Amino acid sequence: MFNIEDIRAQWAKQRPDIDTAPMATIGRVVRLSALLCEQMSKTHEKHGLNSASFDVLATLLRSGPPYALSPNDLLATMMVTSGTMTNRIDQLEKDGLVERVRNPKDRRSVFVQLTETGRKIIDAAVTDHVMVQRNLVEGLSDEDLATLNGILDKGLAALSQD
């Protein structure tokens, strides 16, 4: 519908002083990310999940048996606030996909554990999800992917320091 080079052309006309080369690349990264998320989200919804709940369940699954992590562990890997995590867990618990299990060693904390239903659902959803991801990058060769990983890592390195 509208592309980034058109936007650069507009800026060149209205604000010829500015350097739009960084914008050209950043714009592509942000746009591509949004489109990828939109597509992946459709898959999650097919399994009765949204992206947020998929993320929580997938994190539990890949942690391996007994599929239990604390809310604190979960929010640290997901870069969301504690209030957001409480809400996500509440929803998943209401749907019977996880349960809160008390931690006998520390009564402040709980474990969020996949139920059997939750494990089955996320197992299937992940299988579907990775197939969709394969399709989403099918326009790119293995070499493209490797090149992309390398350059993106350079960009990530500059931003992830802390």
Partner DNA sequence: CCATTTTATCTTGATGTCAAGATAACCGCA
Partner DNA sequence: TGCGGTTATCTTGACATCAAGATAAAATGG
**What are the residues binding a second copy (CB under 8 A)?**
1-2, 7, 10-11, 13-15, 18-26, 28-37, 39-40, 61-64, 76-77, 79, 126-127, 130, 133-134, 136-140, 142, 144-145, 147-149, 151-160
If binding is defined by CB under 7 A, does position 109 make contact with DNA?
yes
- Per DSSP, the three-state class of 107 is coil
* Secondary element (H or E) of residue 25: helix 21-46
Give the residue, chosen from 33, 39, 72, 117, that forms a contact with DNA under the rule CB under 7 A.
Answer: 72
Which of 116, 98, 129, 3 shows the shortest CA–CA distance to 86? 98
Query: Which residue among 63, 70, 115, 133 contacts DNA (CB under 7 A)?
Result: 70
If residue 9 lies in a helix (H) or strand (E), which one and from where to where?
helix 4-14
88 binds, among a second copy, DNA, none (CB under 5 to 8 A by kind): DNA
Q: How far apart are CA 78 and CA 72, in angstroms?
A: 10
Q: Does 113 bind DNA (CB under 7 A)?
A: no
Distance CA 58, CA 24 (A): 33
* Nearer to a second copy among residue 116 and residue 144 (C-beta): 144
CA 103 to chain centre: 28
Residue 118 DSSP SS3: helix
- Give the footprint of DNA on residues 76-95 (CB under 7 A): 79-89, 91
Least distance between a second copy and beta carbon 98 (Å):
17
Positions in the binding site for DNA (CB under 7 A): 50-52, 70-73, 79-89, 91, 100, 106-110
